[in-house]
Structure 1
Amino acid sequence: MKREYERRHSRWYEVLLLGLGFHLLVGLPLVILLPSLERWGWEFWYYLPDVRTNTMIAIGLAFVASALTLRRMARFPGAQLAAYIMPTVSIAFLIAVALLFFTREGYTRQVMLGGYLVSLAWFFLGYFTGRRFRTLKLAMVPFGDTKRLRGSRQVDLRMLETTDLGGVRYDGVVADLRAMDLPPEWERFLARCTLCHIPVYHIRQISESLSGRVQIDHLSENEFGSLLPSLLYVGFKRVVDFCGALLLLPVLAPVMMVVAILIKRDSPGPAFFLQPRMGYRQRPFLMYKFRSMHNDMSGEDFTISEDDPRITPVGKWIRKYRIDELPQIFNILKGEMSFIGPRPESASLSEWYEQDVPFFSYRHVVRPGITGWAQVEQGYAAEIDGMAKKLQYDFYYIKHFSLWLDVLISLKTVRILFTGFGAR
């Protein structure tokens, strides 16, 4: 009789407490009822005018949106949820209030604020009490490339010595399924784990989830099994980009005017710098930037170092905080760029990289962006030495192209704007 294995977190009460159901069954009523009772009393449900109904529905929708977003972001490497709880919940409630405002529906500010505060408390409490249970525990089959993997704070990797889990409950088993030296008894062990509903992962999947990069020795399909990103999300993202750029333009115009004046006063030459870049579907376009270098100096197409003598004093400051990228809002309005996507390379560099990496052009399957996964994870990459690693990040973004990854990149970008991480 073969020994039965049990998957970690598979018991009914564990599934309930650690799953989305617990948020909906316990958290959702809590964040709606507590502020409602405090404002309207215990018998408020006997009389529910539109103002009260609108408020409770808005709180519920904002809470569910926050729970879904945080849950999906937790799947990506480097997602420090404790740092993203407040901005995620804040944005969800701001969107709910904005919808009520623009539709001219009444709501109670006190109850909405109470729902926001209770939601923050709920998610922070859930994070700190459940942190130990969210750490993945994975068993590794000791053949092939699995020995190269290293664990992290989010993943506990344990190497197996025999074809048995030893009574330990794991979230999954990691194996190099292409290893030539994998013995038959270990193959039977993997089949047994699958029959017990314990997932068996190929090493490449876990390596990508730990590093946030996709190896570039071959093209890698997305989670739906296709090389083509979701066309539905491509269209949705284009609409969001266009509307967002229209709303931001009046706000950014005065800032860009001040920056342009500072650049003109700092050194002779134009305030803007236009450079041919390779864009969506490998179509060249002119990318707009604020000029950050002296106008009469030539050199490489990329920055050599932080102390590049071509960079002006004002240029060094605007590069650190990415202010030189602001004019690209016009590229977004024209449909040439997106807020989030792989950074566009110059046409000359793209042709050069294409010679060494035959599928380099695959990064043009989505619109290039002002910020991207490579920028928030790696920072500035020297165009020669860092391109291979940068491509791995770009391919990861394309493989996991989704709203949730874009939200995570947006939150990480805000941190960069305040710290200047990775600037050059």
Structure 2
Amino acid sequence: MTSAYRRAIFMVHVCLSGASPLAVGHRIAKNSLVILIARIIVAALNLVFVWLISHYLGKEAFGQYAVISSAFNLATDIPAAGMNLILIRQIAARDDLASQYLGAAMSLRVVIGGLLGLIATVVVALLPMPVEVRAACYVGILWMFSLLSIYVYTAVLFGFERFYLQSILNVANMLLTVAFTFLVLQVHSRWSLASVIGASALANAIVARVGFSLSFKKMLAPQKPHARHIYLDLLRESIPVGVATILRNLHERIDIFLLGKLRGSGEVAIFYAPYRIVQQLIVIPNMIVRPAYPILARFAREDATRFRNLLRKLVLAFVVIASLICSGLYGLSGVIIDRAFGEGFSASVVVLKYLCFVLFVMFPNSLLWFALLSLGRQISLTYGLVATVVINFVVAYLLIPSLGSVGACVGTLSGQLAFLVFCGIAIAFHKSGQGNPPLDQARFSNLEGQ
């Protein structure tokens, strides 16, 4: 570890040791505002991007793009999201071996990308599809490497709480994507679909290169791990988070599948319309908990009392914010459904009112997800989500035949409450050193000494 990095760690610890709760709260609020502004700009640019490709590609090709992009984003998100969150936790904790874990992540990025690319190549070659779509899929395989790179440098920026840099890079990424997409669409050809995906891949690659330069040169340079098991430990830490991500995605969609199976597509529409509103509103707690995560991870490593105090205040803040939003949404549910979806969705008003209670529980749950990760309890997180999915499935399966969309709401609420109780118990009875800490300091100290 370089002397510059040691000085940086020392300065951070000096600053944090005297940081008041007000200063911590101010930092979280400031970073949340930065993320909010960037998200608004990115959302606006994303609308422009969607309009461009839907206008130039046409309905059928646009649908093909949606399927391809969703598949490759999901394929990279599941293995890389866990690694990203674990790296953030370790970098935020300012551990001596964070640079070696970053080096391991850089190597695993290539390995994971190669494995995913090989699997995707075989699948694309075997599935029957038009030549244009097949070409777009092969370009999408190259796109995965850019997506995996973004996950790595963002971990460094988040770990050092450089949210303004991350926000600037996100906006730049979307600007380049729109610009490159506009340019490639000026040439109308049978390869337009592949060109659009290639434009996104090129934009991601450029921004990832800039992100690497900023994060590695200014904050934390990756080092080759001194021991092989660092790679295995990083995977061991990351895989449960990836599994938890899969379970969370399943929990968010299981009611839709059950409704379609037991009641038909019409009932799915009644439930899905207000559920999309709830999914958009859950972005609000995520914007707060993201900048709080590095601080929670640091406090969990250094001072259990400060960790619990900060977590308690954040839970209280989330409850207050959720109360205001959910009460307003409950009161305006009729107006919102009528304006957004029309008279044909009048049955969705009752569904939205039930989903207000689901949204209320989702707010603290989004915080507890990151709290468990901060404590190194990702195995407990996975168990909690297993219980969530099982309870959601059982309740929804029993109630949907008689209650329809309302039964789906009750199933979702039951799963969220189960996760809330499970996480609360896991955090309340957590003991220092319990769980799966990112680094076994004694073991690694001996290895470094050797």
Instruction: Place the TM-score, normalised by the shorter chain, in its bin.
Output: under 0.3
Greater relative CO, 1 or 2 (CA 8 Å, sep 6+): 2
Greater Cα radius of gyration, structure 1 or 2: 1
Question: Scaled by the length of structure 2, what TM-score is found?
Answer: 0.23
Instruction: Report the TM-score, using the length of structure 1 for normalisation.
Output: 0.25
Query: Whose helix proportion is higher, 1 or 2?
Result: 2
Higher strand share: 1
